[in-house]
Structure 1
Amino acid sequence: MKFLHLADLHLGVENYGRVDPATGLHTRFLDYLDRLDDALAFGLAEQVDLVLIAGDIYKTRAPNPTHQREFARRINRVRSAGVPVFILTGNHDISPALGKAHSVAIFDALGVEGVTIADRLALHVIPTASGPLQIMAIPWVTRHMLMTREEMRNASFVQIDYELRRRLERFVIETAAKLDPALPAIIAFHGSLDGAEVGAERAMTLGQDLVLPRSVMAQPGVAYVALGHIHKHQALAQDPPMVYPGSLERVDFGEYADPKGCVLVTIEGKQARWQFHQLPARPFVSIQHDVRTSSDPMGLIQTLIARHDLREAVVRLNLQATREQVPLLREDVLRTMLSDAGAFVIAAITIDVERTGRRRIAGLEQELVGSLTPRRALELYLKSKQPPLDPARIAALLAAADELMAGEQ
């Protein structure tokens, strides 16, 4: 039996891009769709018996109709090939409000044959071309499930977390004891296991993580643990394998060095082996350098740019420079250099100015008033904030400003 394991599709992430005039869709949305297409094409070529998506289909809990349409088209493609689909709900899929539908509930409402939506703790037996597969589903769970219960009415958050973790662990242990030993079985879990290396998903998380111990997943009869939620591909154990495939595309520069892809899982008897399949995610390139000692900073920057492959890449440039060099480092020229090198999007150009003497932003404005652009003024303002802002936050704000200013041109 073979199945394709993916997670964290995050359709709707639209940073570092622009609207594609040919389709009317955002280029980053197209990136995410392309990676999903690549993963599904790989799975179908491998003749998988099942496609398992371990949560976070969309970026938001209320995706727009275009995002829903494009995802539905991909599901239809898989079902047309006769392959069943199993979708676990993640924290980006479910609404915290009681009674509101989650983002993939429409498949259940329409009764789409061969598509299973796992939005609650349950054991599913999925028929496949190679026989039935038992899937113990552990979707993202919310604390309001307990907070609305009378016995937890006055409980603290610590008590609620303890009780929620206890009930999840009990579900895994009790359900594992009921597994049919004649059939292969796996666990599908959207959440954090202890020891997992986190990344950009921490900043994107909707709701607070509840971390479960790996030991509770290592139940007799379980051949594989299909994980979702953590964007960095990693395997936390091998008996049974506990694998995060990671997200299909890079969300931001925190993931610039991470390979992106999906996992092909093969189960033979009670054992599972897996293979990570890397996908051609859009490259993110960060160029950082100190040019303060250079007599020709622009020439040095041109050499630095030439050392990187910027074709179709999202690029950011961060320089350390002296005040005297600032008038030479014209942003429009730097942007042209990066564009000529093939950059897909210039996420940010930041220049960290060597500070001596006065630290007030007003002082810098007076001394550099002849060379300050609106973007440079914003950059200086953000870097003068106390307490200091995180560099990644500054880069994100500057990137947003770049998009706004580009739209006005």
Structure 2
Amino acid sequence: MGVLRIAHTADYHLGVSLRGLSPVSEKGRIRIQDFLKQLDRIREFVLDRGCDFLVIAGDVFHTIRPNPYVFDEFAKFIRSLTVEKVQVVCIAGTHDQPRTETSEAYMKALEDVGAPNFYFFRKPGVITLKGNISGKKVRFLCLPYIPQTMFKPHEYISSVEQSIRRLLSEPVESYDYTVAVGHFYLEGAIIREHTPSYIGDIPLPLRLFNGFDASMMGHIHRHQFLTGKIVYAGSIERIDFGEEGEEKGFVYFEEYEGGLRGSFIRLPCRPMLTIPRDGFLELRGRRNYEAVLREYIRSLRGIEDAILRIKMRLDPSQVIPSRALEEALRSKKVFHWIIEVERVGGEAKPIEKKVFSLEDYFKHYVETVFKHRLDPETMRLVVSEGLKILKEED
């Protein structure tokens, strides 16, 4: 028999858009291609290395109903692998699970059609597959994302633990390795290094996954090994500025001395940069602040084709210099930019911030209206599930 090889990927988020960038615009279509090119690179690697399996640990699409073009491109990606006898094991993630009774995820269509060598799990399940290249048998414990609305923390952890025990107790023929595939937030995982993040999920203890030859996780977009056998692949492309500076890619597992050894495979990404890196560009009290801004942009290096977030501080009476900014950025061939303005008056006390998202308003509304009506844990669950529904409807 040959050497078992597995590519572990997660969090594709196909169809996600940038703030201020329409997905149907020319640049919006180019941004979609950034993600699809990553699929091309993954496919090339899988076929060149002779991988038996491709694992997708959740969140293929950014919404449960992606646009037809993105859905078709993913279907072609799957077919290009399965016709070469690569077996694809895919689980539902946060964005692949419907949140309402009347909605259904498009991923179900690929499941319903019964595509050969493609295995999709919306509910916990177990399957033993024999590699078409190595001949090795792998028992996959598939644990898709479980909405936490109806659970208290200890109940949620207990539910996942019971699912694992139940799946492990199912009768099975001989196998060489056992691999867990999950879409969870595990204790000790770093969500984002530079930016505070509200994930709202209950962290699961690592002990639940210590007994497997490998535990291949999705949900956290930052690649990291929590132990030698428990790993997050991370997302394949930077989704937002909370992931600025993070390397993106996937994990390649190969048989080594009777076990599975994983290594990170980096994927090239479009640059995503915050200008300035720390704080705000100070333009208060400057009569010629438009000229100052233009000169500052012209002095920047390495921003061609990048996605920029420009943070500036203005007086309440100063107008955002949109035209000057656009001219300077276009001359530098910047791909897309987002402006964040902090307006400050008096003794440097912030009185306005320009950028508020729908998610920010929703969270503020729930916390204000239900402050004295819900306990903190229920409040957290309401906010968490509401934010996920809003993302589905983007």
Name the structure 1 match of 2:141. 136
- The 3 A distance-change label for structure 1 pair 302 and 138 is same
- The 3 A distance-change label for structure 1 pair 301 and 133 is same
Matched residue count: 346
Where in structure 1 are there 5+ consecutive unaligned residues?
A: 148-156, 362-376, 390-409
User: TM-score normalized by structure 2?
Assistant: 0.76
C-alpha distance in 2 between matches for 1:336 and 1:100:
44
Larger Rg: 1
Where in structure 2 are there 5+ consecutive unaligned residues?
A: 365-394
Q: 1:167 aligns with which of 159, 164, 170?
A: 159
- Whether the 8 Å CA contact 1:18–1:27 is kept in 2: the answer is no
Let me know the Cα RMSD of the aligned residues.
Answer: 3.5
Q: Percent identity?
A: 23
Name the structure 2 match of 1:260. 248
- The 3 A distance-change label for structure 1 pair 73 and 202 is farther
- Mean CA deviation greater in 102-111 or 246-255: 102-111
C-alpha distance in 2 between matches for 1:184 and 1:202:
35
Q: 2:177 aligns with which of 166, 184, 206?
A: 184
User: TM-score normalized by structure 1?
Assistant: 0.74
Q: 1:248 aligns with which of 211, 236, 250?
A: 236
Name the structure 1 match of 2:14. 11
Q: 1:310 aligns with which of 297, 303, 317?
A: 303
Structure 1 residue 105: Cα displacement: 1.7
Structure 1 residue 142: Cα displacement: 3.1
Name the structure 1 match of 2:327. 336
C-alpha distance in 2 between matches for 1:140 and 1:243:
16
SS of the equivalent of 1:211 reads coil
Q: 1:114 aligns with which of 117, 131, 155?
A: 117
For the pair 1:275 / 2:263, whether they are aligned, the reply is yes
C-alpha distance in 2 between matches for 1:295 and 1:124:
68
- The 3 A distance-change label for structure 1 pair 125 and 99 is farther
Q: 2:207 aligns with which of 211, 215, 221?
A: 215
Structure 1 residue 101: Cα displacement: 4.4
Which structure has more relative contact order (CA 8 Å, sep 6+)? It is: 2
For the pair 1:126 / 2:126, whether they are aligned, the reply is no
SS of the equivalent of 1:266 reads strand
Structure 1 residue 294: Cα displacement: 7.5
Deviations 1:314-367 (A, max 9, x none): 11222235679x47x7321122111211200122263x4441289998xxxxxx
- Whether the 8 Å CA contact 1:201–1:230 is kept in 2: the answer is no
- Whether the 8 Å CA contact 1:223–1:272 is kept in 2: the answer is yes
Amino acid at match of 2:334: A
Name the structure 1 match of 2:388. none
C-alpha distance in 1 between matches for 2:241 and 2:304:
16
C-alpha distance in 2 between matches for 1:135 and 1:3:
12
Amino acid at match of 2:299: A
C-alpha distance in 1 between matches for 2:304 and 2:333:
4
C-alpha distance in 2 between matches for 1:141 and 1:354:
43
- Whether the 8 Å CA contact 1:290–1:319 is kept in 2: the answer is yes
Name the structure 1 match of 2:379. none
- Whether the 8 Å CA contact 2:137–2:175 is kept in 1: the answer is no
- The 3 A distance-change label for structure 1 pair 357 and 135 is closer
Structure 1 residue 174: Cα displacement: 5.3
Deviations 1:281-307 (A, max 9, x none): 121111123355879753575245533
- The 3 A distance-change label for structure 1 pair 100 and 303 is closer
Amino acid at match of 1:229: H
Deviations 1:204-227 (A, max 9, x none): x7xx523210011101xx211100
- Mean CA deviation greater in 1-10 or 297-306: 297-306
C-alpha distance in 1 between matches for 2:165 and 2:197:
28
